[in-house]
Amino acid sequence: MTDIATPEFLNELQSLYPAPAKYIDGGWYLAAAVAFSSSNCPEAVPRVLRYALDDLDKLPDTSDEDRRLLVRKMREGIFKSGLLSGYPKVIHALISLYEATPEELRDTEPLRDTTRSKEEVAVAGQAYFDLQYGDTAAEVQPMLKSIYPDLEHFTMTLGYGYVYAFLEVISSKETSFAIIAALIANDTLSQVGWQLTGAVRNGATVEEARAVREIALRIASKAGVLKHDVPNI
């Protein structure tokens, strides 16, 4: 595939997202990394990293902790997107990201608490699921259990408890961004409208949610993986 992550295209993507008070809080590079990963374009992820780090380094008083957080946000967004796009894509994207990451910005230990009991993980998952689905949780969870009880158990524990509910790197808002970008790049669009609204409920502005949608849409379109119309907020 021809490389689509040109500097011009990345500049276009960045311009879609409202300028944040702090560069590190801009959702564009997170959405772009996830959309490229989910579109099966892992070679584009390091280009997003280098572009974003170069931007960050132009700002005064940028620290290694800022750089490390930027890399972590990209890594965490891609990791969370695996529940939707599949972990083979995530592995390829994270290998590409790892190889492009300066050694001092790499993590060598898990960020999640690996000593938590499965009961604690399940409680955290249920709480985050209830928060995300609100009034519809009472309908969605029984549906998951009825179509396949193992799916409901997996969703509450590993899916929401271990993966989504960890918010020490990316927030609920940014987690919604990762979900939106993955859904669009997967061309699995039935939940996109709901997730856009959910992102606003989690603290995003309407403009930010629309920007993430547009970033993912343009990447998926260039990658040739989008075949249907994408819902909007």
The string of pLDDT tens digits covering residues 158-190 is 999 999 999 999 999 999 999 999 999 999 998
Model confidence pLDDT, tens digit, residues 104-162: 999 999 999 999 999 999 999 999 999 888 888 999 999 999 999 999 999 999 999 99
Q: Which one has a higher pLDDT value, 61 or 34?
A: 34
Res. 2 pLDDT band, cuts 50 70 90: low
Region 31-46: mean pLDDT is: 98
From the list 8, 9, 62, the residue with the least C-alpha distance to 214 is 9
Res. 214 pLDDT band, cuts 50 70 90: very high
User: What's the pLDDT score for residue 133?
Assistant: 87
Q: Where are the beta strands (DSSP E) in 63-169?
A: none
What are the extents of the domains in the chain?
7-111+166-223
From the list 198, 199, 180, the residue with the least C-alpha distance to 188 is 180
| pLDDT over 60 at 1, yes or no | no
- Among residues of the chain, what percentage have pLDDT more than 90? 93
| pLDDT over 70 at 218, yes or no | yes
SS3 letters for 181-219?
HHHHHCCCCCCHHHHHHHHHHCCCCHHHHHHHHHHHHHH
From the list 179, 180, 182, the residue with the least C-alpha distance to 211 is 180
| pLDDT over 60 at 91, yes or no | yes
CA dist., res. 25 & res. 21, Å (int): 8
CA dist., res. 201 & res. 97, Å (int): 30
φ, ψ (nearest 5 deg) of residue 37: -60, -50
User: The tokens 């796009």 sit on which residue?
Assistant: 85
User: The tokens 């970008």 sit on which residue?
Assistant: 181
User: What's the pLDDT score for residue 107?
Assistant: 95
| pLDDT over 80 at 203, yes or no | yes
The per-type count for the chain, helices as H runs and strands as E runs, is 11, 0
The pair of three-digit structure tokens given for residue 93, joined into one six-digit string = 């994207």
Judge contact between 133 and 198, C-beta under 8 A. Answer: no
SS3 letters for 163-184?
HHCCCCCCCHHHHHHHHHHHHH
Distance of CA 221 to the CA centre of its chain: 18
Judge contact between 132 and 175, C-beta under 8 A. Answer: no
Buried b (16+ CB within 10 A) or exposed e, 210-221: bbbbbbbbbbbb
